[in-house]
Amino acid sequence: MTRRAFVHRISAAAPDDVSGIEAAIADGHIDPKGVIAVLAKTEGNGLVNDFARGHATLALSLMFRRHLPADEAARICLVMSGGTEGGMAPHWVVFERRAADDADGKGPALAIGRAHTPPLPFEHLGRLAEVDQVTEGVTVAMRDAGISDPDDVHFVQVKCPLLIAQRVADADRRGAVVATRDTLKSMGLSRAASALGAAVALGETAREKIAESDIGANWSLWSRRASASSGIELLNHEIVVMGMSPAWSGPLAIDHAVMADAIDIEPVRAALGRLGLAASGQLTDTQRRRLVALLGKAEASHDGLLRGRRHTMLDDSDIASTRHARAFVCGALAGLVGHAEIYVSGGAEHQGPDGGGPVALIVDRA
Amino acid sequence: MTRRAFVHRISAAAPDDVSGIEAAIADGHIDPKGVIAVLAKTEGNGLVNDFARGHATLALSLMFRRHLPADEAARICLVMSGGTEGGMAPHWVVFERRAADDADGKGPALAIGRAHTPPLPFEHLGRLAEVDQVTEGVTVAMRDAGISDPDDVHFVQVKCPLLIAQRVADADRRGAVVATRDTLKSMGLSRAASALGAAVALGETAREKIAESDIGANWSLWSRRASASSGIELLNHEIVVMGMSPAWSGPLAIDHAVMADAIDIEPVRAALGRLGLAASGQLTDTQRRRLVALLGKAEASHDGLLRGRRHTMLDDSDIASTRHARAFVCGALAGLVGHAEIYVSGGAEHQGPDGGGPVALIVDRA
Amino acid sequence: MTRRAFVHRISAAAPDDVSGIEAAIADGHIDPKGVIAVLAKTEGNGLVNDFARGHATLALSLMFRRHLPADEAARICLVMSGGTEGGMAPHWVVFERRAADDADGKGPALAIGRAHTPPLPFEHLGRLAEVDQVTEGVTVAMRDAGISDPDDVHFVQVKCPLLIAQRVADADRRGAVVATRDTLKSMGLSRAASALGAAVALGETAREKIAESDIGANWSLWSRRASASSGIELLNHEIVVMGMSPAWSGPLAIDHAVMADAIDIEPVRAALGRLGLAASGQLTDTQRRRLVALLGKAEASHDGLLRGRRHTMLDDSDIASTRHARAFVCGALAGLVGHAEIYVSGGAEHQGPDGGGPVALIVDRA
Amino acid sequence: MTRRAFVHRISAAAPDDVSGIEAAIADGHIDPKGVIAVLAKTEGNGLVNDFARGHATLALSLMFRRHLPADEAARICLVMSGGTEGGMAPHWVVFERRAADDADGKGPALAIGRAHTPPLPFEHLGRLAEVDQVTEGVTVAMRDAGISDPDDVHFVQVKCPLLIAQRVADADRRGAVVATRDTLKSMGLSRAASALGAAVALGETAREKIAESDIGANWSLWSRRASASSGIELLNHEIVVMGMSPAWSGPLAIDHAVMADAIDIEPVRAALGRLGLAASGQLTDTQRRRLVALLGKAEASHDGLLRGRRHTMLDDSDIASTRHARAFVCGALAGLVGHAEIYVSGGAEHQGPDGGGPVALIVDRA
């Protein structure tokens, strides 16, 4: 008796277009009882005032409540990553798990788990308290996935909160001091602390090596597998862990790569090869169909350079650097895999090296 | 006795940073007397109110006037393409030509020519009158390059004007009717008419097949080699033609490819192969150094789809679709060639198929 | 036996923050049974990809469904006007009506009515068919308000649809030709046709005087009382009519003014005076409390001039002119009334003279 | 023998349109020899990557060099304030002074002076070293204006530098630590330090009361007369002081007001009255013609509130709060004075109370 993971990638025609998921439930492709998480790329600006994420979250919640008891629906992790710049296609990635008998084939196979942390006091955002809260959450999610060895984890997705004027004011009223009053900057600090929290849980960084001043500043500290996305629509953290486990079966497998910079696609090509999708140029149609999901991170390098030449993402006051980076990195990865319905999330603080980021690939081996 | 083309790609630290060109003149790498054109990617928004292009144009003019008689300096085509979204590096591409003796090696080699059209009356913008003016200009530039067979032309760069409120008002005062009062839309119409004008000159489209209503509307008409960029900083057209000619010598060669959509990089890979830079993955450092310049176009497909999946570039009211497209296509091409100091211009109306665009590659064969 | 209108202005902490309305229902200030419309300023970009409007609409619908039968809840007009640029405060304006006995005081008093039109085929948007549909809708809403004489109408708010890439594609598939393929421009055309439709219903413009080519082009045609706002979240028109009627009683009264340009506040000051709020400078706190609601329109003049001096709203490709205009006109009006929790909607095509717009004021005479 | 100040307000059709100034020089209205400063509102985004300011600066420099020896031209303070949001009209305000005999009428009258500081090391930006440098500069400018009593100063305009990626990198290379790596934030810190520097020079704040941590944070410290504007186009500070002095003659007078918040226009109305332009509503055409220049500041209040109601300027990641504030405050002031060719600069850190700002009015008493 094993468990089996199912990953359903479904296009969205709008932030609240859950019709594709409902159709998959109706025709039996998705059993809502087994859904533990939905990751999505929604088409807002991906920044502070991005209400498309909240709109999508509400639409998903209403939909699941039509199929599940409220408490079960509430346990599903909803990780909305805002920003589909460039040609990125808005889409849902639904993670489901079922009990399976060995006929489904021996593992190891894709294993998935999730966790919710308690709400984060606003003054803890971007500080060691957030690091620790996320470390604990990742540990819980690993346990939920039945993964004991951190090396078996290939991707950790954390959805984390951010600050807005009213939340800063709330902390002020309580005499608490927030890490920043700049709402846009709070998104980066929250991602930074979350990524370091995951790094600790994965044994990539020793907790005692991290000082509060390192958060969002010391880029020598980074995780090879953490991905964090901040949003106005939640006050706690929602965490999804993906890895390989012999206790899971089925055709799905996951591997990861680390891009050293925004156009470092060869490590991703190598990971595709390890998963059975070797290609010299762009993936063929057949290979493309076997690539179930691509999850990655994008950011502007902090020295303002890409391979020794200047980029202008950090000096552009009209478009946030995360928007530039998502469009650009999505282009590089789409050029490799041959389509743009991929999950590229912006702001890779401590997620991969400065200017680069981790990429996870889920492939159907059948 | 032949002619020889030199192409100098020089990084820019700001829109008015011509120090790299001045240094090249000082050390003799560039002889200002032979410079016929400067193409550049400048870091503004690339849209109507992009004054970085005008700032760069003024800085270049002042610089050349320090080295040349005013009338000679004025003859140099200055083609500023605004918008370095994503990781695109702001840079200058200086086109120079010199007389050469055969010792330099037999042709065929890169041949370059240029032309300036008269000012375009505002009411002609985006209309057949602009098409014809550009056709005439391209013919003049081909003659200047010593290219008689249109098939020997690999790239035509046209810098064209746009409308702003005052120009529309000027036409109104004269009782003339402009093609559009939407200043942003005027950029696309000007690019569209310019591209069709080049297509006619190159024998890709028959003039009589083009109705005024086709301009910026009938995407079945397109050039494989035209690239147009509109700007507030000029009132006429500046045209640069690039091709191969036996009357030219030297190590430089040019070829072109047509991308069918925003991530169709395999035709570009094939063109690199024809030029001696075959690579299965990303170009190696050695190959990269031999790639002197990459010139391409980017746009959002008008049906809102990329390979059957939705993109949101046309529905984004915060960021113009040309900005999204430049960042995205630059990412795809940079992933192929391994750096982002490439010239990707936005808005490919009638330049390549809908959603795609032409790409030119200049390589040092030595 | 008369009817009595109640207008509740309630602050919103977020697009989906309906807590203030729920509290008013809980404490009996609002009887959901009598609510016919909610107008709101929501904090998105007010443009094509503004999902805050849809998010607010969904939150309001869910809230009303908790208090009313689904069909009654569905009859409430939800007019979300996106864009709270400058200091404009996001807020709800809830319109409620109840039966009243004459003890409430004789009229005339504020009278309100509403109507919903059928869905508008995408190819009719911005065309005479939309004009006629809105004319019919306004007539229905006047009847609902018990107003027979158009001169008794002081404000007509129309929420109208817009085009997005998929809707254009849908029309294409049916071989239908849309008025524009530019999604942002479709917002203006829809507002333009809606305003002319109201102008016809109010007897301000003769239907036979309107040619299809006048829509969004001939600014000599305009209404003194129409306000139109377009949104992605609906496919039909929702219409609210406000006026004075002897068949209504209570302390509320409405009057209107027409601003000749973006800073023409003196006519608004005069209207305030007619309503009993005369002030030489800014309204006093006491007067301010009696101003229940201010509803107005803002736009950039099409000649690019304000009182003979240039404005740059039409040449700014980073910020849409409607966003500039809302912030600017809201500043002028807030300087007059002393707060910025006012409803300033962008895009005043045929709503007031070019560059100006109508303003309605609802005052508590008690 | 006294001195006499002339202030010429001239419209600009583009960032580099100096034709109006040249015409005034040609017809003798302006004597370039006496020009000490040009303040201007230019039409860029007013943020980090605003090259319109540099373009205007270059155009002005070239123009003055055609009329003056290079060293004299270089001494003219060029204060380009980017951002003409809303209906604000791009324009130049040229400050000129001449020797005058008493026939011109006894003073006191408008007195003007200027100063240039040395370049500011990047790591000093936003720190006490910048405060002190500006204090020294303002003192020099007061001396240049012949004003000894700080109470006679009504406005101090400081143009200050900002950080960009390369400047941060330069500091890094030298092992110096910059106050912020966020380029947009550096604009605010530079304005904050400059304003405090002026406050010290004007005796409004005691130098020893200012801790480095107060800069850009402790809003209880503010000047009633300082206005600071940061730009990429300079590395030092350019300072212009305006006041009243018995040693100056002529019809021009200056006074100032402090707006307590973004719509607090009554103190400005009172100042207009003190200058002979009393008006209950909007200024009349005749009064408007006597208002030579209006100079003011705008910012979003840091508590996210305007008169107790929420504004969204600080949570908008698409449009910087300074852009919102300029459009909004310009609307409030234009509603008062009746035109929008006024100088409203964004970012009022320590310039007026939090959310408000100082306003200076120059009037022709003749």
For A194-244, how does the pLDDT look when each residue is reduced to its tens digit (9 = 90+)? 999 999 999 999 999 999 999 999 999 999 999 999 988 899 999 999 999
Cα separation, A30 vs A19, whole angstroms:
13
Token pair recorded at residue A12? 């969205």
Inter-chain touch B318–A280, beta carbons under 8 Å: no
Among chain B residues, the shortest Cα distance to C185 is held by B182
Checking phi first, is residue C355 left (phi over 0); if not, alpha (psi -120 to 50) or beta? left
**DSSP code, position C117:** P
pLDDT at position A105 is 63
Q: Which of A275, C87, B237, A198 shows the shortest CA–CA distance to D301?
A: C87
pLDDT over 80 (residue D102): no
Nearest to C317 among B47, B168, B312 (CB): B47
pLDDT at position B89 is 98
**DSSP code, position D155:** E
Q: Fill in the amino acid letter for B314.
A: L
Cα separation, C310 vs C303, whole angstroms:
9
For A94-136, how does the pLDDT look when each residue is reduced to its tens digit (9 = 90+)? 999 999 876 656 779 999 999 999 999 999 999 999 999 999 9
Inter-chain touch C58–A54, beta carbons under 8 Å: no
Nearest to B304 among C45, C165, C316 (CB): C165
Token pair recorded at residue A366? 């059948």
> Which of D85, D284, D319, D343 has the highest number of chain C CBs within 10 A, making it the mutation to test binding with C?
D85
Q: Of all helices (H) and strands (E), which one includes residue A309?
A: strand A309-310
- On average, the pLDDT of chain C sits at 96
For chain B, the chains sharing at least 3 beta-carbon pairs closer than 8 angstroms are A, C, D
Q: How close is the nearest chain D Cα to the Cα of C281, in Å?
A: 6
pLDDT at position B340 is 98
Token pair recorded at residue C33? 């049974």
Beta carbons of A231 and A82 less than 8 angstroms apart:
yes
Q: How close is the nearest chain B Cα to the Cα of C32, in Å?
A: 35
Roughly what angle, to the nearest 10 degrees, separates helices C19-26 and C52-65? 20
DSSP 3-state of A100? strand
Nearest to C51 among A13, A51, A166 (CB): A51
Beta carbons of A38 and A78 less than 8 angstroms apart:
yes
User: What does the pLDDT average to over A319-326?
Assistant: 97
pLDDT band at A268 (very low <50, low <70, confident <90, very high): very high
For B115-124, how does the pLDDT look when each residue is reduced to its tens digit (9 = 90+)? 999 999 999 9
> Considering D41, D81, D159, D227, which one is annotated as catalytic?
D159
For A26-40, how does the pLDDT look when each residue is reduced to its tens digit (9 = 90+)? 999 999 999 999 999
DSSP 3-state of C283? coil
Nearest to D52 among B14, B51, B166 (CB): B51
Among chain B residues, the shortest Cα distance to A13 is held by B310
Q: Fill in the amino acid letter for B95.
A: F
pLDDT over 80 (residue C1): no
Active-site residue, D209 included: no
Residues of chain B with a CB closer than 8 angstroms to some CB in chain D: 13-16, 43-44, 49, 51-52, 54-55, 58-59, 62, 166, 318
Q: Which of A324, A282, A281 shows the shortest CA–CA distance to B325?
A: A324
pLDDT band at C310 (very low <50, low <70, confident <90, very high): very high
Question: Tokens 């083009």 label which residue?
Answer: B210
Inter-chain touch C314–B165, beta carbons under 8 Å: yes
pLDDT band at A166 (very low <50, low <70, confident <90, very high): confident
Nearest to C166 among B165, B304, B318 (CB): B304
pLDDT at position B102 is 66
Inter-chain touch C315–B49, beta carbons under 8 Å: yes
Name chain D contacts of C263, Cβ cutoff 8 Å.
87, 282, 331, 334-335, 338-340
Q: Which of C337, C343, C363, C324 shows the shortest CA–CA distance to C269?
A: C337
- On average, the pLDDT of chain D sits at 96
Inter-chain touch C51–A49, beta carbons under 8 Å: no
pLDDT over 70 (residue D104): no
Inter-chain touch B331–A262, beta carbons under 8 Å: yes
> Which of B172, B187, B317 has the highest number of chain C CBs within 10 A, making it the mutation to test binding with C?
B317
User: What does the pLDDT average to over C197-207?
Assistant: 98
Nearest to C304 among B47, B169, B310 (CB): B169
Strand partners, B116: B238
pLDDT over 90 (residue D49): yes
Q: Which of B88, B85, B73 shows the shortest CA–CA distance to B18?
A: B73
Inter-chain touch D86–C13, beta carbons under 8 Å: no
For chain D, the chains sharing at least 3 beta-carbon pairs closer than 8 angstroms are A, B, C
Cα separation, C59 vs C16, whole angstroms:
5
Inter-chain touch A13–C166, beta carbons under 8 Å: yes
Q: Which of B119, B72, B40, B65 shows the shortest CA–CA distance to B295?
A: B40
Nearest to C54 among A43, A55, A62 (CB): A55
Give the percent of chain D with pLDDT over 70.
99
Neighbours of B309 (CB within 10 A): 17
Backbone angles phi, psi at D150, to 5 degrees: -55, -25
Residues of chain B with pLDDT under 50: none
pLDDT at position B149 is 97
Instruction: Give Cβ neighbours of residue B51 (< 8 Å, ≥ 6 apart).
Output: B44, B232, D14, D15, D16, D43, D44, D51, D52, D55
Active-site residue, D159 included: yes
pLDDT at position C135 is 98
pLDDT at position A1 is 74
Secondary-structure breakdown of chain C: helix, strand, coil percentages, each rounded to the nearest 5:
35, 25, 40
**Of residues A4 and D1, more confidently modeled:** A4
> Considering C81, C190, C227, C229, which one is annotated as catalytic?
C229
Strand partners, A359: A257, A296
pLDDT at position A118 is 97
Name chain C contacts of B168, Cβ cutoff 8 Å.
304
Inter-chain touch A58–C55, beta carbons under 8 Å: yes
Beta carbons of D137 and D237 less than 8 angstroms apart:
yes
Cα separation, A95 vs A76, whole angstroms:
10
pLDDT band at C184 (very low <50, low <70, confident <90, very high): confident
Cα separation, A227 vs A212, whole angstroms:
20
Question: Tokens 């996870």 label which residue?
Answer: A360
Inter-chain touch B307–A339, beta carbons under 8 Å: yes
Secondary-structure breakdown of chain A: helix, strand, coil percentages, each rounded to the nearest 5:
35, 30, 40
Cα separation, A341 vs A322, whole angstroms:
18
Cα separation, D300 vs D188, whole angstroms:
12
pLDDT at position D105 is 63
For D248-307, how does the pLDDT look when each residue is reduced to its tens digit (9 = 90+)? 999 999 999 999 999 999 999 999 999 999 999 999 999 999 999 999 999 999 999 999
Beta carbons of A361 and A255 less than 8 angstroms apart:
yes
For D163-195, how does the pLDDT look when each residue is reduced to its tens digit (9 = 90+)? 988 899 999 999 999 999 888 899 999 999 999
Name chain A contacts of B310, Cβ cutoff 8 Å.
11, 13, 89-90
For C81-129, how does the pLDDT look when each residue is reduced to its tens digit (9 = 90+)? 999 999 999 999 999 999 987 665 677 999 999 999 999 999 999 999 9
Beta carbons of B79 and B37 less than 8 angstroms apart:
yes
Residues of chain D with a CB closer than 8 angstroms to some CB in chain B: 13-16, 43-44, 49, 51-52, 54-55, 58-59, 62, 166, 318
Question: Tokens 């795809």 label which residue?
Answer: B332
> Considering A41, A81, A159, A345, which one is annotated as catalytic?
A159
Inter-chain touch D51–B49, beta carbons under 8 Å: no
pLDDT at position A104 is 57
Checking phi first, is residue D170 left (phi over 0); if not, alpha (psi -120 to 50) or beta? alpha
Question: Tokens 């300023």 label which residue?
Answer: C41
Token pair recorded at residue A145? 């996935």
- On average, the pLDDT of chain A sits at 96
User: How far apart, in Å, are the Cα atoms of B339 and each of A217, A308, B292, B299?
Assistant: 26, 9, 12, 20
Q: HEC states along chain B? A: CEEEEEEEEEECCCCCCCHHHHHHHHCCCCCHHHEEEEEEEECCCCCCCCCHHHHHHHHHHHHHHCCCCHHHHHHCEEEEEECCCCCCCCEEEEEEEEEECHHHCCCCEEEEEEEECCCCCHHHCCCHHHHHHHHHHHHHHHHHHCCCCHHHEEEEEEEECCCCHHHHHHHHHCCCCCCCCCHHHHHHHHHHHHHHHHHHHCCCCCHHHCCHHHCCCCCCCCECCEEEEECCCCCCCEEEEEEEECCEECCEEEEEEEECCCCCCHHHHHHHHHCCCCCCCCCCHHHHHHEEEEEEEECCCCCCEECCEECCHHHCCCCCHHHHHHHHHHHHHHHHHCCCCCEEEECCCCECCCCCEEEEEEEECC
Inter-chain touch A309–B11, beta carbons under 8 Å: yes
pLDDT at position C149 is 97
